A = this chain, B = another copy of it.
């Protein structure tokens, strides 16, 4: 048996919530009604057509690529790098990085920026963090621009070990300090 109008429209909403990439025709066949009925439903619920739905999904997420932490990339934008010596990256703190309650940035974002910068500055096939000591000097708030500077302190070729210090600042105020002991695999 077909659904009632009310039920169908409810389901329609849920269906499109889950998958906005679906045509009226496909909807019609899944609900066993005509395309026109679907159109009427969309009108009543003021759901836009497929193309507009897609456009809004795209527009919504466009330019917001930074919103989600790009797991495989460097966190923050590297603006200067001198391999095996030093590197600088910038991370703009948004609402997404902070505790909702007080607007203070979660520690792991600062760590992620510093750690990935430490990895980036090493001119090698691969660098792994072995050990690190970090200090959160001052809270960072949404809207702050964190500038992290990584400096290679020493490199022990014997032990495949490199010591890096990363200092992060917001408007010249140090907010984070981290020492990273990195393990490196020399280029073949």
Interface residues of A, Cβ cutoff 8 Å to B: 20-21, 51, 54-55, 57-62, 64-65, 67-72, 75, 96-102, 104, 106-109, 111-112, 115-116, 119, 125-126, 128-136, 139
Cβ contact of A134, chosen from B61, B96, B98, B132, cutoff 8 A: B132
The reply to whether A131 and B134 contact each other, CB–CB distance below 8 Å, is: yes
Contact A133 B136 (CB under 8 A): no
Chain B minimum-CB-distance residue to A69: B69
Q: Are the CB atoms of A116 and B106 closer together than 8 Å? A: yes
Docked complex Cα distance between A109 and B111 (Å):
10
Name the B residues within 8 Å of A58 (CB-CB): 20-21, 54-55, 57-58, 61
Contact of A96 among B54, B67, B72 (CB under 8 A): B72
Within the complex, the shortest CB–CB distance from A101 to chain B, in Å, comes to: 6
Instruction: Give Cα A65 to B18, complex, Å.
Output: 13
CB of B68 within 8 A of CB of A71, answer yes
Q: A72-B96, A101-B125 are in contact. List 15 more A-B contacts (CB 8 A).
A: A51-B51, A54-B55, A57-B61, A61-B65, A69-B71, A72-B100, A72-B106, A99-B126, A102-B126, A104-B126, A106-B115, A111-B111, A111-B112, A128-B136, A131-B134
